[in-house]
Amino acid sequence: MSRYQYTVLFAVVGALLLGGCRDREQPDSTAQQSSKAGPSDAEKERVKAFWAEHRKATKQRIDRDLVGAAESYQKALHYDPDHAEALYYRAQILNVLDRPVEALPLFTHLLEVDPHSARAHLALGDLYLCLAAPTVWNPARARYHYEAAHDINGEETGPLIRLAWHALVTDDPQRAQEMLDAVLATNPASAAALSMRAYLLHNQGKEHAAQQIIAQLQEEAEAAPAPEGFVSEGDNANQGTDQIAQCSGPDLILAQHQSERIQQIDALRAARPKTPTDP
């Protein structure tokens, strides 16, 4: 073979090898176009529809149209069943509308979406300890969720206040006192904790001390009235509404005038649903 033929042969082989390398390095144009395409038109429409319903629901909630807000949040959840805020507010509104049985699976699903949601644990505790909902009454589950909320948000007093309420409802005054001591050590002005402490003192026959606390609460309320729509410190079952849910734990105490709170606690405890272990 002549030198010229060798030169041509090497040139052809080199071109073939170089072309193969380039083919391997060149990304697939179809896959590249697909990755750049972004969400489909259907997905864009779904997201758009979700936010339209969510914004509508938020406005209705702020305007106190709770029935309308509940429906709009439900429509929003049709487009995004795992949206934490929509789940939370629809469930809370159903609770305020005295529909706790419908609220329960929403809060349960919220915990599946966000296992570290302290407010979902608190809300479930309130539902399971709901004096007005015997079909969901379960003090053991209520305590579990209150303690879970405390584990998540140990610096907040809300879970401890509810654990104290749980102890009062389930006839454990010593545990109630321990919880109240922990709350008042951090927040000496807690109206919920002071109201329950007055109740414990009343039950111990220390009426003068109990009435002193009630008088203190009245003076503080007159000096600094709570803002409109306010129920209690911390997380509560009435956020975004002026109505009081029947399944809202110690918030039911604060809904009463200070002078009536001892009687209110008595009435609430007497109304608790019966369980198979109750006498």
Per residue in 214-255, pLDDT tens? 999 999 988 876 554 433 444 444 444 456 677 888 888 888
Report how far residue 201's alpha carbon sits from residue 21's, in angstroms, rounded to the nearest whole number. 87
pLDDT in tens, 29-74: 444 554 566 889 899 999 999 999 999 999 999 999 999 999 999 9
Q: For residue 218, what are the domain limits?
A: 156-279
Is 240 contained in some domain?
Answer: yes
Q: How far is CA 7 from the centre of its chain?
A: 78
Q: Is residue 6 part of a domain?
A: no
Number of domains in the chain: 1
The encoded tokens of residue 81 equal 């069943």
Q: Is residue 221 domain-resident?
A: yes
Q: Report d(CA 70, CA 243) in Å as an integer.
A: 14
pLDDT, residue 36, reads 61
Q: Is residue 192 part of a domain?
A: yes
Structural domain contains residue 65? no
The pTM of the full predicted model, rounded to 2 decimals, is: 0.79
Q: Show Cβ contacts of residue 143 under 8 Å, excluding neighbours closer than 6 positions.
A: 125, 163, 166
Neighbouring CB atoms inside 10 A of 91's CB total: 28
Query: With contact defined as beta carbons under 8 Å apart, do 107 and 123 qualify?
Result: yes
* Amino acid at position 114, single letter: D
Percent above pLDDT 90 for the chain? 64
Provide, rounded to the nearest whole percent, the portion of the chain with pLDDT above 70.
78
pLDDT per residue as tens digits for the range 1-34? 555 454 444 444 444 444 554 444 454 544 455 4
Whether 184 is in a domain gets the answer yes
Helix ranges, 129-206 (H): 139-152, 158-169, 173-186, 191-203
List the Cα angle 253/151/189 in 5-degree steps: 40
User: Which tokens is 268 given?
Assistant: 């609430």
Residue 75 lies in a domain: no
**78 in any annotated domain:** no
